[in-house]
């Protein structure tokens, strides 16, 4: 781990991670163009070499678990240097995602994830999303059994409401929550973040770069070709997309003054928000995760943060998305 990077604790587990984690959905190749196994392995290795020690994946990242398999292949001999989070409760059927958070399914998927990853334990295991067909308390009971068995070191929830977290917490301790959060989608500030602070739950934010929209690299005439899944989201469509790129352009002088790229400024701002523990940053090429890793040591200062907040206020409400 690079010197000067302050790690954060996951809940009260004693497990410490870098504030930037590599999100490993892009290397699965499901909705990302041009991903090769070689590029994925190089990107994972570059993350560690850049000081990142935290890797976030899921049972359903890849139709056949490609993301977990690639992590096992790339980082197997560096297992003692990294913290691995994965998720269960969502799987593919005929290339359509399905939820199944029954305890027996979660335990079976966890065992398969361990085999793919080539490890005997996962450091953080999430329920990927609540299953409307299964009581939250039953899913929590399944993860509590995995925790007691030593298969997982800590438990998290993803895409849960505060009411669902309350129900889960009555059965099993929660170390982390993973909601979507970024400059333009800040709904969790109202209830979710305060609840997590009150209960000592770490918040691992995904969509920090809004699927690349806030990274500063997309052109106004970019064509989202299949299988790129971004075209289905309102923030990448028509006038909304152009307004979002206007917002990104408003960040460029601030980033320049801070001697950062736009994406580094976005990540640094996110990590400066009260209650945010970790920013999940996807990458499918080594240079992408290297760029993100720089933000871990960035000190943007209050003046720069205030300028960003002014730009956000000028942008106004943006199109959001429902949970998974």
User: Active-site positions?
Assistant: 61
Nearest to 293 by CA among 267, 321, 257, 273: 267
Q: Where are the beta strands (DSSP E) in the chain?
A: 8-9, 16-17, 20-23, 54-56, 83-88, 90-93, 96-99, 124-127, 155-158, 176-178, 202-205, 278-282
Give pairs for 191-200: CB < 8 Å, separation 24+: 191/162, 192/161, 192/162, 193/274, 193/275, 193/276, 194/275, 195/162, 195/165, 196/275, 197/274, 197/275, 199/165, 199/169, 199/174, 200/11, 200/12
**Tokens matching residue 286:** 């080594």
Q: How many angstroms separate the CA atoms of 165 and 162, rounded?
A: 5
């Amino acid at each position: 781990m690079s010197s000067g990077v302050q790690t954060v604790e996951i809940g009260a587990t004693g497990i410490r991670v870098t504030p930037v984690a590599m999100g490993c959905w892009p290397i699965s190749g499901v909705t990302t163009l041009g991903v090769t196994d070689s590029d994925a392995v190089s990107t994972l290795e570059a993350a560690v070499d850049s000081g990142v020690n935290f890797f976030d994946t899921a049972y359903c990242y890849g139709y056949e678990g490609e993301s977990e398999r690639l992590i096992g292949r790339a980082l197997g001999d560096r297992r003692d240097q990294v913290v691995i989070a994965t998720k269960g409760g969502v799987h593919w059927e005929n290339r359509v995602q399905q939820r199944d958070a029954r305890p027996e399914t979660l335990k079976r998927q966890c065992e398969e994830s361990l085999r793919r990853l080539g490890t005997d334990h996962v450091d953080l295991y999430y329920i990927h999303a609540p299953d409307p067909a299964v009581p939250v308390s039953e899913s929590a009971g399944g993860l509590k059994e995995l925790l007691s068995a030593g298969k997982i070191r800590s438990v998290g929830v993803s895409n849960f409401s505060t009411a669902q977290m309350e129900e889960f917490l009555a059965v099993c301790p929660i170390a982390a929550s993973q909601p979507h959060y970024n400059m333009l989608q800040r709904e969790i500030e109202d209830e979710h973040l305060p609840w997590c602070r009150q209960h000592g739950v770490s918040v691992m934010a995904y969509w920090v770069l809004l699927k690349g929209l806030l990274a500063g690299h997309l052109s106004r005439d970019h064509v989202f070709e299949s299988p790129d899944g971004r075209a289905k989201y309102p923030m990448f469509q028509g006038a909304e997309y152009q307004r979002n790129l206007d917002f990104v352009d408003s960040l460029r002088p601030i980033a320049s003054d801070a001697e950062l790229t736009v994406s580094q400024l976005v990540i640094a701002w996110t990590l400066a928000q009260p209650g945010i523990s970790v920013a999940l940053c996807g990458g499918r090429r080594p240079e992408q995760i290297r760029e993100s890793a720089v933000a871990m040591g960035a000190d943007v200062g209050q003046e720069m943060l205030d300028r960003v907040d002014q730009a956000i206020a000028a942008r106004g409400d943006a199109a959001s998305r429902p949970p998974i």
